[in-house]
Amino acid sequence: MNWDSFKDDESVIGYLSKLPRYKNSSLKSLLNRGKFLFSLMYCHLFKIDKPLFIVLVTNNSCNFKCTYCYGDYGHRKGIPDFTTRELLKIIDELKEMGTRILTLHGGESLLRRDFGEIVNYAKLKGFYVSLNSNGTLVPKRISELKCLDNLCISMDGNENSNDKNRGKGSFKQALAALEAAREHKIPIVVSATLTRDNINDMEFLAKLGKEMNFRVQYSILYNFGDVKDDVRMDDHEIRRTVKKIYDLKKQGYPIYYADTVLKGSIEWPASYDNARFFTKKDREYTKDLGLIPCYHGRFKFQIDADGRIVTCWAHNRADAPNIRNLGIKKAMERCKKEKDCEHCCFLANIEHNAVMDLSFKNMIGMATIHLIDSLKIRRQGEN
């Protein structure tokens, strides 16, 4: 589609609104999930690098001002958002480049009035599509989200500690979003950012996940050096926290991570206070440690709403290659060329890297998660 042939974004949105509404199902969602795995095996077999997994930040604004936000989206000023046409061009080009998984992110994506049309278009293009949201607008716009393959809601703990991290009233809003998604049978993950304020709430979230049928993805802060000492965990606290996550998983709670990922984080061979990733210069030290290699910059990239492409948020450089002046392909090539990181301790990164490394155990675990989640979508069609 030549999106430049449209007069303006209003005419583009008008066109999108007339497209068929994508009706997700267990089988369709499972096929889109499977395409990623088969593409991954193909790329490994023929030694091809492709952006199979893309995190696309749709806008620079957020209605929250979380103190630990890696992108400071609650305070960004003067940075233009992608227009509707720009987002559609990005989606089209990613499809041509072989992208299979598209995670839409913010900021808060639902602040975009065109978001429902963007999601529908991406699903019609054949992507596996997930959304990360703070949940505030989910109940109001739930009808636009029913075609999602996954919805990730941010919730850091019980009401007191969550609201301290994310703002007054945010817990109740996130809970309402979870209820709305559960009612419409959209597979849910809760993303919990762990700080010193909420590490005692991990069991609360695990129990809530079991009760409401969602998985919990705990995360340690990326920008640990930029947050206040009273919330930043030290090396001992981080290891103890990850051990607690591991114990909760062993007790049967719906924890997102594989055992190998959690053990790798518990046994991270450096102090968390000083080194949370290893680079090429550390090879002499890391060569015999059996660490999971990093595939960000080969199979996975993040595209920020300001146009920058980074391998992951731990390397959120202000001077990162930008698609606004380089285009997507050249920006990705530069990002890949400039990548120095080879191993890290961040749980979500290790999980994705373990799958992209074609670890049999992790692939089976992830396949099981996707099978279960896709069956939830099937039940939606039956109700």
Which tens digit of pLDDT belongs to each residue from 269-282? 999 988 889 999 99
| pLDDT-based confidence at residue 225 (cuts at 50, 70, 90) | low
Give the pLDDT confidence score for residue 224 in this predicted structure: 62
* Residue 383 in this model has a pLDDT that exceeds 80: no
Dump pLDDT digits (tens) for 138-195: 999 999 999 999 999 999 999 999 998 889 999 999 999 999 999 999 999 999 999 8
| pLDDT-based confidence at residue 226 (cuts at 50, 70, 90) | low
Tokens of residue 340, six digits? 């120095």
Give the pLDDT confidence score for residue 378 in this predicted structure: 57
Task: Please say whether the beta carbons of 58 and 104 come within 8 A.
Answer: yes
- Rounded to the nearest integer, the mean pLDDT of the chain is 92
What SS3 state is found at 316? Answer: coil
Residues in a beta bridge with 322: 308
195 to 65, 69, 92, 379: CA distances (angstroms): 16, 12, 38, 36
Give the pLDDT confidence score for residue 66 in this predicted structure: 82
Q: Percentage of residues in the chain with pLDDT exceeding 70?
A: 96
Q: What is the dihedral of CA 51, 117, 25, 104, to 10 degrees?
A: 40
Q: β-pairing, 300-303 with 309-310?
A: antiparallel
Task: Please say whether the beta carbons of 137 and 117 come within 8 A.
Answer: no
- Where residue 190 falls (left for φ over 0; alpha for ψ -120 to 50; beta otherwise) is beta
Dump pLDDT digits (tens) for 231-285: 788 899 999 999 999 999 999 999 989 999 999 999 999 999 888 899 999 999 9
For residues 98-113, average pLDDT: 95
Name the pTM for this structure: 0.94
For residues 96-108, average pLDDT: 96
Q: How far apart are CA 267 and CA 270, in angstroms?
A: 9
* Residue 336 in this model has a pLDDT that exceeds 90: yes
Neighbours of 267 (CB within 10 A): 12
Q: How far apart are CA 61 and CA 103, in angstroms?
A: 17
Task: Please say whether the beta carbons of 154 and 105 come within 8 A.
Answer: no
